[in-house]
A and B are shown apart, each in its own frame.
Chain A
Amino acid sequence: MDASIIWLFILFLCLVIGILSGTAVVIVLAGAPLLVAFVASLFGHFDISYLAAFPQRVYGIMNNSLLIAIPLFVLMGILLEQSRQAEKMLLNISTLLGQTKSTLVIAVLFVSTLIAASTGIIGATIVMLGMISLPALLKSGVSKRMSSGLLCASGTLGQIIPPSIVLILLGDQISNAYIEAQQTAGNFAPDPVSVGHLFAGALLPGLLLVGLYALYTLVALLFQKRSEQTSVKPEPVETLPSQDVSIFTLLSNILPPLLLIIAVLGSILFGVATPTESAAIGVAGTILIAAFSLEKAPKYLPHLCVATVGALVVLFAMQSAGLTRVDFTTGDLIFDAGSITGTILVGAVTASLIYCCYWLHRKDVLRISLSKTIEVTAMVFGIIIAASMLSLVFRGFEGDEYVQSFFSELPGGAWGMLLVTMLVIFLLGFVLEFVEIIFIVIPIVGPVILQADFNPVWFAILIALNIQTSFMTPPFGFALFYYRSVAPAHITTTDIYISVIPYVALQLVAIAIVLKIPELATWLPELLFN
């Protein structure tokens, strides 16, 4: 036992105190290790030149082309939020399905799943659900605790249903850890793990969760009904504009996001495009959707958007027929009817996109979306960079070796390690945020745990489910913060904390199911990528 274990303990203490002091977490995550390392170096217990590797690590993060997808997916989500498309979807579906308890619950889950599949912006989803669905749920007689739990849990679905930022970050970290682990174990050509694998792997577990939420809520409603039969029937109150929603309005609200989701997810899952490329398509599509539903815009703008989508469809049809190819390999440009039409259509699509952006800019949607995207992206990258400082100092104190020896002494071998890791992540979820957990825990435990014969996709999905839970575990669950900010005062914070307990339990059930049936996570990626 040498001095470094004491310094690691001091570091841990400083981190806890710093984080709880309420100052920005990034500053503590990067600053506390630096301070401890500096003090330790005064005692001759730390080689300060170790820190010279820090800028190189930051450059590594800046040049990680996998992470380019993050600002793009964030932009997509924020544009969709700013355009109020999701709100319209929720309103229309709720109106269509009627205002009984169970149909409202189904509407909430259905719309949450759709939003989850198009963006991963947790705050926006919960604020919207809280503003629109909460009054309706309460007035239809769903108890305030059950509504709160349902809305908080539904809002976190975006973290597990692809495309999600959690999965992109996990994909990056897991693939590094997996390669390192397999090389240590003597396998020098491990099959690569990509973000696409994780997206495919998370799809079924994500839908499983939606199913569990629905099942639990509907059954709980039945019991609630039975126990309340003697009490007064809640009066039917009209909260949502209950004018007839024509099938056309409904389709025009649901179809565009649905098609966009299919295009973005499909292109990633079928290996046609990388996540970054799909994200760019997603942003372009969202610009069209936002312009389509822009209020107080010229009447022809929606028509223009539809025409643009039509042009894109024609373009892709031409591409599949092999009509648009410009052949550079032979050295001559063949300008035939196909390539000329293609070029003209691309020009038209570009012009139309620019025109849509002009209107979004005039209505202030674009400026706010860009600003917010920069803030969210900076928040994420600040933590990634700070966590790299922390793991650098952690390794400088040989913390990784302590983890390794701790793991090797655990009973139960690989499964013991897995269960301890899951428990640690679950507990960290009460205090830390997902980026911190991914970038602190995975580099430390991943290279050890993945030496065992675990499927890395399955391992990643288990962690993703676990991390998603951290969004709703009191007291620091982000879903709860956002929900608190929109919930009326008569729903107390204690109500909210109690309301999520059943849903946290459901998360654990889902984790147990995926633990027991790994095929839920591994079947689809193997089908698509092998």
Chain B
Amino acid sequence: MKLGKPIQHFLLVAESLHHANLGVCKLLLALLFSTQFSVVVMRYLFAIGFVELQDFVLYCFATLSILGIPIALRLDKHVRVDIFRASGATASARRIDQISYALLLIPLAIVTIYYAMPLVQYSWEIKEGARETGGLGGYYLVMMMLPIACLLIIIQALALFFDKSLIHSEEVG
């Protein structure tokens, strides 16, 4: 199947979004560890604690846990039950994947965005902060991550839908 120009452009965009997202997640993971480690050191050695830092760890974690999903989707790292599926990307296995993206995954992402947006909007309007008093502000940015992740899931699902070279071809690196 020859792909049209707009689709090829789209695939390039999807790829660069994937790499950007992966970079963000790596950074978040590094920040998550180093902040949590500093919290531990400060608490146990100097008996100092900052609610803000603990909140920052939680923000990093929350963002990481949701943004990682489109990455795993693109790299085909989500668990599969391979009993009837031949190893490698056969045509029928690819067809099944395409159906699952179109019928299940993309609608799911759209429904989630649809129901999440009012929450995000409200949170954005009141400039929602962390749960605890004295905590870090800017929680509405974390709320934003759910619709963003869903958008990325839609983009990557479409990319996988169109580009068969993506499946089982990319290794981590």
Contacts and interface: CB of A to CB of B under 8 A. Distances in A.
Interface string B19-30: 000100110011
A513 interface: no
Interface of A, secondary structure class, is helix
B104 A75 contact: no
Nearest to B26: A370
B100 A67 contact: no
Interface string B42-66: 0111111000000001100111111
A325 B73 contact: no
A23 B107 contact: no
Contacts, number: 208
Among B32, B48, B143, find the residue whose CB has the most chain A CB atoms closer than 10 A.
B32
B104 A277 contact: no
Contacts of A24: 73, 76, 78-80, 97, 100
Contacts of B81: 19-20, 22, 25, 431, 476
A22 B85 contact: yes
A382 B41 CA distance: 32
A62 B100 contact: no
B22 A371 contact: yes
Nearest to B44: A319
Interface extent on A, as a size class?
35 or more
Contacts of A23: 80, 96-97, 99-100
B37 interface: yes
Contacts of A385: 66, 69
A30 interface: yes
B159 interface: no
Given A59-B119, A368-B172, 19 more contacts: A21-B96, A23-B99, A27-B101, A31-B100, A31-B105, A31-B107, A31-B108, A55-B119, A55-B146, A58-B146, A62-B145, A71-B65, A277-B43, A280-B40, A342-B45, A371-B22, A377-B64, A378-B68, A475-B83
Interface of B: 22, 25-26, 29-30, 32-33, 36-37, 39-41, 43-48, 57-58, 61-66, 68-69, 71-73, 75-85, 93, 96-97, 99-101, 103-105, 107-108, 111-112, 115-116, 119, 131, 142-143, 145-146, 172-173
Instruction: List the 5 closest pairs (A to B, CB-CB), nearest first.
Output: A31-B104, A22-B85, A378-B68, A378-B72, A62-B62
